Amino acid sequence: MSSTMEGCSLSDFVEIKVIGRGSFGQVHAMRYLPTGEVVAVKRASKRKCLIRRSHLKALSAEMQVLTNNTSPYLLQLKTSFQTDDDLFFVLPYMHGGDLVGHFDSLDKRVGKVPEPWIRFYAAELSIALSDLHKMKIVYRDIKPENILIDGEGHIKLCDFGLSHALQAKDGFMTRGRAGTGRYMAPEVASGHDWYDCSSDMYGLGVVIVWMFEGHSDVSKYRAKTVAKKYTEASRAARNLIDGLLQPDPEIRFGWDVIFTHPFFRVNWDALRLRKVSAPIGPDLVTWHQNPHLVKLKSDDAQLPDLGVPDNLVSPDIQAKQRLQMQSNVKIECRDTPLTPQQQAMFANFGPTFAPQKSHNVQQIEGIPASLDAHTRILNVNDVANAHKIVNDVASSFSTTLSLAA
C-alpha cells in the first residue's frame, strides 16, 4: 500500500465523478488533496455486506488480492479506510478506462485494431493471469470490462471479488458457477463440476476473440472458422484461440504452451518488467468525456487539471475543496447505526474516520431491531456468519500464499 496516503480519511479527497456503479456501491474518481493526485475510490456499504454475505465475501477476497500481489499488470491497493457506514478502497486511477472504451477509441483514431496490438494486450493479460495462478488463485471474471488501461497504455486487471484461493485439501480445485455469461468455461457454467485455474484460459480465449471480432460469441466465431471466412486473425492466432477454447480442460492450452506459442512473438522477460512500450496510449485529451463516466452532480463538475504540479495546490484551495467534498459527496446515512459488534467485523478493512451522527435506538441483545424499512432484520447469527466469512477468506488466502511461496 502507498505510504504517502497512510492515515488518510474521506476529508482528504474531493469528488470529481462517479465512474462505476454496482451492487456493492459506487466507484468515484477523486482528487487526493495533499498531493493533487487523481485516484479511484471504491465505496461499499457495510449494511449491504451484513445483509448479503456474498458482498462481504467478495470484498474480503478482493482485499486479499489487492494487498498481496506484486504483479505489474494486476491492480494494487493504495490504502483503505472506513466510516461508520461505509468501506473505502483507494486505487490507482486508470486514465484509459476499460478495454471496451479503449478499443472504441482506437476504432475511431486508427480504424481496425491491428493484430500486433492485440498480441501486446493479450500478452500482458496472460502475465496478469499467470501471476494470479502462481498464487493459486483462480480469477473467474475475465472480461474486457475488467481490463483497465493506465496512462501509458498498459493493462491492469481489476475486480477480484469473484477470485478464489484454491486449497490443497481440495486438490487445488473448486466448483460453483461464477463469472459472466459467454466468458465462463463450460465446467464453470455447469455449476457443479470441479475446476482449477485452467478455467481462466477459456476466458482468455474469449477475450482474444472479442479483440479480433468485436464480439464474445464463441459459437458465432466457430461457425465463421468452419466456413473458412478468415478475415481478421492470422493462422497462429486462430490456433491459439482454438486451443484456449477447448471444452475439455484436460486438453486446453496451459501456460507451458501459451508462453511458447508462435502467436506470441514477444520478449516475455521485457514485458514482465514493463520495458515494452504500449503500441498506443489512451486518448488523455478526452478521457473525461468517456461515455462510461457517470456525472455525480447535475451540473458539470470542473475536471482536474492533470498537468498541474502537486506543489501548486495551495492550502486555501485545499480547504475550499474539503468544504466542497463535504457538501457534494452523497454518503447514505441510515437512522440506525451499526453496533460495536457489527463494526468489529470490519476491523481488517482499514482505520475508521469521521464517525456519523449517533442515534439512540432500542436494541435487542445488543443488535439493532432493524436497519430500515427496506431491509430485513439483522440478528446475532448474521454477525457471527459475517465474522466467519472474513476469517475464512483471510485464512484461505494466507494459506494459499504460503504454499505458493
Helix (H) or strand (E) segment spanning residue 389: helix 380-404
Q: Give, in order, the Cα–Cα distances in Å from 118 to each of 113, 123, 252.
A: 7, 8, 21
CA neighbours closer than 13 Å in the CB half-sphere of residue 343: 19
Ordered DSSP codes for 67-95: HH---TTB----EEEE-SSEEEEEEE--T
The C-alpha R_g of the chain, in whole angstroms, comes to: 23
Q: Which residue type does 254 have? A: G
Taking each helix axis from N to C end, the angle separating 198-213 and 218-226, rounded to the nearest 10 degrees, works out to 70
Pick left, alpha or beta for residue 137 (phi over 0 → left; psi -120 to 50 → alpha; otherwise beta). beta
Could you give the CA distance from residue 106 to residue 321 in angstroms, rounded to a whole number? 35
**Cβ partners under 8 Å of residue 120, min gap 6:** 266, 276, 278, 279
Q: Which of 12, 84, 86, 141 is catalytic?
A: 141
What are the backbone angles phi and psi of residue 298, rounded to the nearest 5°? -70, -30
Cell numbers for 334: 441510515
Q: Is 299 a catalytic residue?
A: no
Could you give the CA distance from residue 185 to residue 247 in angstroms, rounded to a whole number? 7
Q: Encode 163-194: b = buried (16+ Cβ within 10 Å), e = exposed.
A: bbbbbeeeeebbeeebbbebbbbebbbeeebe
CA neighbours closer than 13 Å in the CB half-sphere of residue 297: 14
**Contact at 8 Å (CB) between 296 and 330?**
yes
Q: Give, in order, the Cα–Cα distances in Å from 51 to each of 170, 176, 217, 229, 389.
A: 29, 21, 35, 51, 13
Cell numbers for 82: 472506513
SS3 263: coil
Active-site amino acid positions: 141
